[in-house]
């Protein structure tokens, strides 16, 4: 069911939610958190679809705050708030409140959502596209338990990742880190097999617009305490995302390479070569994983504030296009 509320207020939206609950049953029971999605108009549906899919694992209330493109979302129109409530089959296992804010109304994000938050439930804020430089200091970031960004969606992904490093606060996370889960699992499993030799050299390569490549290199550097050679290759000469990792030991290298989309090969000394499914994770999978934990991700904090800084300051960047 979809209910449109043009030119409305937060108070009227709350009353409509109560009415829907009384007419259709206690649809808000069992909700474990409030997810706030902050995006620009025209970009809402992709994020809503991912949230609806993730809600089947994490029943929640989804509040989508959509503003006009442009600085602070205050271009063109006068002050106005349009809303839409989606429940039932149109909202997965959640209830979706879509707020379209225009003009000066968009400047006070916290007041728009405060009256719609579930009582006594954690608040997670997700910026699918453009996020504030310091998310924890933003008006919505201050009320959130977890704050999710996606550096790969920014115009300069690597610089965006560095901004996250400079402004990191416990509770922050980024989908560039979440997309590493499958890579980290495969590499950890490979190192967990005999001969248990120390890694002496690390090489990581990926696309120039892949912040996940830098985070993977930083994670390996932080965990193994070995300098890393990392290279970023232009998209014209390779696929997107991470291309490969080589871990050198005395007995020979462990190579995990993704030459074609979604498929990687794992080569180890004295072992047959394995073909592995290693796809780029979609928004639904990344969001569902991040919502499984509402406490700060300590390892991510260490990697982005320590491992990444140490790697960029001391390790070797190579020209992957020339290799």
Nearest Cα neighbor of 124 from 38, 48, 46 is 38
Whole-number mean pLDDT of the chain? 90
What would you report as the CA-atom Rg of the chain, rounded to the nearest whole angstrom? 22
What is the reported pLDDT for 323? 45
The pTM of this model reads 0.92
| Count of Cβ atoms closer than 10 Å to residue 190 Cβ | 18
The rounded distance, in Å, linking the Cα atoms of 199 and 225 is 9
Asked whether residue 319 carries a pLDDT value surpassing 80, the answer given is no
The rounded distance, in Å, linking the Cα atoms of 22 and 285 is 33
What pLDDT digit, counting tens, does each position of 57-85 carry? Answer: 999 999 999 998 764 444 556 789 999 99
What is the reported pLDDT for 318? 77
What pLDDT digit, counting tens, does each position of 16-61 carry? Answer: 988 887 776 545 456 889 999 999 999 999 999 999 999 989 999 9
Nearest Cα neighbor of 49 from 302, 288, 311 is 288
H or E segment at 175? helix 175-178
Asked whether residue 259 carries a pLDDT value surpassing 80, the answer given is yes
């Amino acid at each position: 069911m979809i209910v449109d509320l043009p030119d409305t207020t937060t108070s009227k939206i709350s009353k409509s939610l109560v009415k829907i609950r009384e007419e259709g049953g206690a649809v808000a029971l069992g909700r474990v958190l409030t997810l706030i999605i902050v995006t620009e108009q025209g970009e809402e549906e992709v994020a809503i679809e991912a949230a609806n899919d993730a809600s089947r694992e994490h029943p929640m209330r989804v509040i989508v705050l959509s503003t006009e493109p442009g600085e602070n979302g205050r271009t063109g129109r006068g002050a106005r708030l349009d809303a839409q409530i989606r429940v039932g089959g149109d909202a997965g296992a959640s209830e979706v409140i879509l707020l379209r804010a225009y003009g000066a109304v968009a400047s006070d994000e916290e007041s728009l959502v405060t009256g719609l938050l579930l009582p006594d439930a954690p608040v997670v804020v997700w910026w699918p596209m453009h996020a504030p430089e310091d998310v924890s200091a933003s008006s919505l970031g201050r009320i959130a338990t977890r704050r999710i960004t996606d550096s790969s969606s920014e115009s300069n992904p690597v610089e965006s990742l560095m901004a996250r490093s400079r402004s990191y606060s416990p509770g922050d996370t980024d989908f560039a880190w979440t997309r590493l889960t499958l890579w980290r699992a495969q590499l950890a499993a490979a190192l967990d097999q005999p001969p248990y030799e120390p890694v002496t050299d690390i090489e990581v390569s990926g696309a120039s617009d892949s912040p996940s490549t830098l985070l993977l290199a930083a994670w390996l550097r932080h965990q193994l305490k070995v300098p890393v050679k990392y290279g970023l290759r232009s998209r014209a000469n390779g696929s997107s995302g991470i291309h490969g990792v080589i871990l050198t030991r005395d007995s020979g290298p462990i190579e995990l390479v993704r030459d074609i989309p979604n498929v990687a090969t794992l080569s180890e000394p004295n072992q047959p070569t394995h073909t592995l499914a290693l796809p780029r994770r979609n928004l639904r999978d990344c969001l569902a994983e991040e919502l499984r934990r509402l406490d700060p991700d300590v390892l991510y904090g260490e990697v982005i504030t320590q491992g990444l800084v140490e790697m960029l300051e001391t390790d070797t960047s190579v020209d992957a296009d020339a290799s």
